[in-house]
Structure 1
Amino acid sequence: MMTGRAEITCAEIICVGTELLLGDILNSNAQYLAQQLACLGISHHYQTVVGDNPLRLARAIAIACERSRLIILTGGLGPTPDDITTATIADFFGVPLVENTEVLADITAKLAQRGRTLGDNNRKQALLPRGANVLANPQGTAPGILWQPRPGLHLMTFPGVPRELRTMWQTSAIAYLQAQGWTDGVIHSRTLKFWGISESRLAAKVDDFLKLENPTVAPYASAGVVKLRISAKAKSLSAAQQLIAPVAAQLKGMGGIDCFGEDDDTLGTAVGQLLLRHQGTLAVAESCTGGGLGAMITAVPGSSAYFMGGIISYDNAVKERLLGVSSQALLEHGAVSAIVAEQMAVGVRTQLATDWGLSIT
């Protein structure tokens, strides 16, 4: 049995939706909320995913009440019969659902803007637990709630639509948590990104940094890119940034490792920045990637300033005819070889009259 619940200060996330359990959609809400809690300095130890089942959801809430003081629920606030979150919460805490006239008016107005009238299914969304405060939804018809159902226990609900949840979090939830005294300090992170080195090799090179406590440095890899996340906890964002800055500068200045960007930067943005800085133009020749390289480059806004185009030369005859790859190189070395890749890059640069040619084969 767990005791001392009033002394437990961690938050817990419960995501409701059978589609999450089945893996039909990615649980981006849990990721976003976890990141936001970290930024606010709120400890968060548990995440639960529950299907659209009242009994199992009630059990998840009961477990959360025993170990957390802030429970955040997402999903299950819609107008359909399987949207059971609000009713389950009210039933669990033994309070009735009461129709909120302001919420009802807001839902009616939003439906009217879409050329629709209020039906019983949407009217259900205006039923909230008695005593709960409304967490307004500026974009949709599903409001959330901010509620203290018991002394020392805070509960928040959000719709499952990520765009709506994020807006509600930024416009209302953060202010609520600050007012309740939850945001004692912040945790801030910067992520440095490296290419051309394995996670184990990078970890070995920065071993001394991995022993730091505040900020901490942790390596991880994803999709061909190795990253170092530097995280610091402080009383304010600026103080956390000051703790991180010298460590980031030392890591970026180390020899033998190439940091191409930070946070949201991609290899595509890094290439684009280099080309813009040097006023260069680029063309690509691809074989096995089938246009993937060009797609990565053109995914960057403004890439038309430096990217001229590409040639997908999947067949060897196309390599010869359009890119000038020699039949001898193909015969002696094969299409997947350094010499063929070089000839493809030279060929596409010539064909499209660019400063740089880049190839993959």
Structure 2
Amino acid sequence: MSSSSGEHAGARAWLADVGLALGVFVALNVAGELLVGGGFDVTGAWISLPQGPGTTLLEAILAAALIARGLGPLRRARVTAACALLIVAAAAAWDTIVYFALLTAGRIATPLPFPSSVLVLALALALAWTAARPGPPRTWSKGQVVRSLAVAAVVAWTLPLVLMLTFGPTRYAREADAIVVFGARVYADGRPSHALADRVDEAIRLYHRGLAPVIVMSGALDEVHGGSEPAAMKARAVAAGVPAAAIVLDELGVDTAATVDVTAAWLRERGERRVLAVSHYYHQPRVKLLFQRAGVLAYTVPATMSRRLLKEPWFVAREVLAYYAAWLAPVLPMKS
């Protein structure tokens, strides 16, 4: 076998492993949506497939095709598999067009104009190419199994990371019913940490632009010194000219899910459902996921950082695990 054909075989094997991992992920989303419902399926965060009665069926076909191709070259249904992947590629291409149209029109802003749909488009086309081509059976040696598991781990780690680096920094600032600020650390003397100050300052700018009439400051009481995150947030906003009457304090926001639940209930009481969600870029994919499940239309606005956070790499790594925990929350055992 020539080196060129060997390289092609290696590339096909690598793509098959990537497709296998993605197929399992899509299959879990389909199964969760059928068993749990309530917006369990999060594939829409990466690709906007045509919505309708056939969406779940299309995802099921896609998952089956990717898993079957990952286990070995397709002997049958190669055309079906390739067509399903080409539909995904077409949807990704449309998402990319819409993204750049919004960017050109000034409806969104981002420091990195590179949507995740570009990656989805390239990967879908590559997988369609491998699915349509016949090939020799895969030999599942111990080394092959280890390699496939390693690729699956990389894919699992990369999926939320892609959202953090593409969706996360994108600003969707527009008119809403309220601005919601997610809390962070407050020092014993009442000063907000750099992370919290940046979030509050972002909300102040949005309020002064007239994008929402009220700011919800959500956070917790510090377990060590008892300081209130929302109180520190309010003090900073009032000092910057935000009327105290335009600020709502939520001291039950002990974590992201709690903030979303409290805010969603507060919005329902007012007959409203649109918020500007302010947090750091790495946090925004999980914020969006939880607000969607709560029936709230959240436009995410990442806080402009006055300086890079010293623990930013740790926060990003932790957020990958937190994203999966939030995704799987509906099927995880409830704490007693």
Structure 1 length normalisation: TM-score? Answer: 0.22
The structure whose residues are more often strand, as a share, is: 1
Q: Which protein is bigger by CA-based radius of gyration?
A: 1
Q: Flag the structure with more relative contact order, 1 or 2, with Cα contacts below 8 A and sequence separation at least 6.
A: 2
